[in-house]
């Protein structure tokens, strides 16, 4: 380890695993870092292969109108990111260039586009699934992976503003969805144990905004709707959520009018894997030199 690097972020940057951009939480990744991510991605696929999930990949931006309807702005306005672009004429362009040259704000010359940044891999899925009509008897299961954006700048390398989230999402009856989440609570722990990482599982809540948000967060905890698999990475006291197991009840089913085969409002659940978080946890616990990682861990990741 580098003596002159006081923090985990410094160590990862110094070793070139992450590449600085001048913005907290926005990093480039080295080839080796990506090999670890790819190995973990394949391990997830092997672990979930029996589910025969339908693979869908969306770009890291989603339809703004669908995003508005999803309710994200009600719960997490502080995290959302929107895409803006220039829509003016020659005169506006000249003003924009003058402002730039003077170091003045220029962004009032921009307009919001029809695209927002994807906040979680599953957000573009629900309206897509809803369009297919009532669910089959067995419900549906999807395999997703997306770069996600959350406006939460931090010096902790595990809290990034643009990061990848792999997800399995189950849509079906309450029984189907609850069974899926129970199953993944177990599989997720076995998977992280295989990687030689210390962990514990605990009930959790999402960072709902404002005063109303506090009520939502405590009800989410009371109902046991969110669990996290936590690995100590930055500190022992505040371990990092590397996997989450979320039961949304009928929240997305009723928002998007997704119906079961019997015509009831569908329930949904997802298991989310924080790809960068797991990779960084591996570097933190097994060292920055992948060649020296335990053989079982290298095997599991096909490294
Ligand atoms: P936290 O409580 O740490 O903010 P979260 O519970 O909001 O995380 P989810 O919304 O459940 O996270 O997202 C699914 C997974 O995505 C998390 O388990 C985590 O591994 C990963 N993740 C979430 N936010 C970030 C981030 N800012 N940087 C990197 N990974 C993240
Ligand atoms: Zn999800």
Q: How confident is the model over 64-121, as pLDDT tens digits? A: 999 999 999 999 999 999 999 999 999 999 999 999 999 999 999 999 999 999 999 9
pLDDT given for residue 64 in this prediction:
98
CA of 150 to the centre of ligand 1 (A): 9
In this structure, is residue 3 part of a structural domain? Answer: no
- Nearby residues for ligand 2 (ion, Cβ within 5 Å): 122, 270
Band of pLDDT at residue 60, cut at 50, 70 and 90 = very high
Binned at pLDDT 50, 70 and 90, residue 5 comes out as confident
pLDDT above 70 (res 14): yes
In this structure, are 59 and 126 located in the same domain?
yes
Q: Is residue 1 part of a domain?
A: no
Supply the CATH number for residue 291's domain: 3.30.930.10
Q: Could you tell me if 177 and 94 lie in one domain?
A: no
Q: Which of 274, 267, 256 is nearest to 124 (CA)?
A: 256
What is the side-by-side strand order in the sheet with 162-172?
54-55, 140-149, 162-172, 267-274, 240-249, 226-231, 200-203
Is there a domain that residue 43 lies in?
A: yes
Ligand 1 pocket, Cβ-based, cut-off 6 angstroms: 120, 150, 152, 158-160, 163, 165, 204, 206-207, 228, 241-244, 272, 274, 276-277
The total of structural domains in the chain comes to 2
Q: What is the pLDDT of residue 124?
A: 98
* Whether residue 283 is found in the same domain as residue 140: yes
Domain boundary at 116, 135, 167, which? 116
Assess contact for 137 and 259: CB atoms under 8 A: no
Q: What pLDDT band is residue 3 in, cutting at 50, 70 and 90?
A: low
Same domain, residue pair 94 and 127? no
**290-293: long-range contacts, CB 8 A cutoff, minimum separation 24:** 290/32, 290/35, 290/36
- Does some domain include residue 101? yes
Domain contains 51:
yes
pLDDT at 126: 98
In a domain, 55, yes or no: yes
pLDDT of residue 2: 64
- CA–CA separation, 123 and 294 (whole Å): 37
Closest CA to ligand 1's atom 11: 244
Range of the domain at 108: 83-116
CA–CA gap between residue 160 and residue 139 (Å, rounded) = 33
Q: Which whole number is the average pLDDT over 186-202?
A: 98
Q: Are residues 154 and 273 in the same domain?
A: yes
Q: Note whether residue 175 is domain-resident.
A: yes
**Residue-wise pLDDT tens digits, 196-252:** 999 999 999 999 999 999 999 999 999 999 999 999 999 999 999 999 999 999 999
Tell me the per-residue pLDDT of 272-300, one tens digit each, with 9 for 90 and over. Answer: 999 999 999 999 999 999 999 999 999 99
69 and 16 in one domain? yes
Nearest ligand to the CA atom of 76 = 1
Q: Which atom of ligand 1 is nearest to the CA of 163?
A: 29
Asked whether residue 42 is assigned to any structural domain, the reply reads yes
Q: pLDDT for 118-172, tens place per residue?
A: 999 999 999 999 999 999 999 999 999 999 999 999 999 999 999 999 999 999 9
One domain for residues 105 and 152: no
pLDDT exceeds cutoff 80 at 4: no
Same domain, 285 and 215: yes
């Amino acid at each position: 380890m580098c003596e002159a690097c006081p923090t985990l972020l410094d160590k990862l940057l110094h070793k070139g695993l992450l590449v600085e951009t001048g913005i907290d939480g926005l990093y480039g990744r080295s080839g080796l870092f990506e090999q670890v991510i790819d190995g973990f991605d394949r391990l997830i696929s092997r672990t979930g292969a029996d589910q025969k999930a339908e693979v869908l990949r969306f770009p890291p931006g989603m339809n703004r109108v669908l995003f508005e309807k999803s309710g994200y702005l009600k719960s997490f306005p502080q995290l959302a990111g929107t895409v803006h672009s220039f829509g003016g004429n020659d005169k506006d362009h000249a003003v924009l260039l003058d402002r730039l040259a003077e170091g003045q704000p220029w962004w009032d010359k921009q307009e919001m586009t029809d695209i927002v940044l994807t906040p979680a891999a599953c957000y573009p899925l629900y309206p897509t699934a809803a369009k297919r009509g009532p669910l089959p008897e067995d419900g549906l299961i999807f395999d997703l992976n997306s770069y996600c954006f959350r406006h939460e700048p931090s010096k902790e390398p595990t809290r990034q503003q643009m990061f990848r989230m792999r997800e399995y999402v189950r849509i079906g009856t309450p029984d189907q969805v609850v069974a899926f989440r129970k199953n993944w609570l177990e599989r997720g722990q076995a998977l992280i144990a295989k990687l030689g990482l210390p962990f514990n599982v605990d009930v959790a809540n999402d960072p709902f905004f404002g005063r109303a948000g506090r009520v939502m967060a405590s009800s989410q905890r009371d109902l046991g709707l969110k669990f996290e698999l936590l690995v100590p990475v930055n500190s022992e006291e505040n371990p990092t959520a590397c996997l989450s197991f979320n039961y949304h009840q009928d929240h997305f089913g009723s928002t998007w009018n997704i119906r079961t085969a019997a015509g009831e409002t569908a329930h949904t659940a997802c298991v989310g894997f924080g790809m960068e978080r797991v990779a960084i946890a591996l570097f933190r616990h097994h060292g920055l030199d992948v060649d020296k990682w335990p053989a079982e861990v290298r095997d599991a990741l096909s490294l």
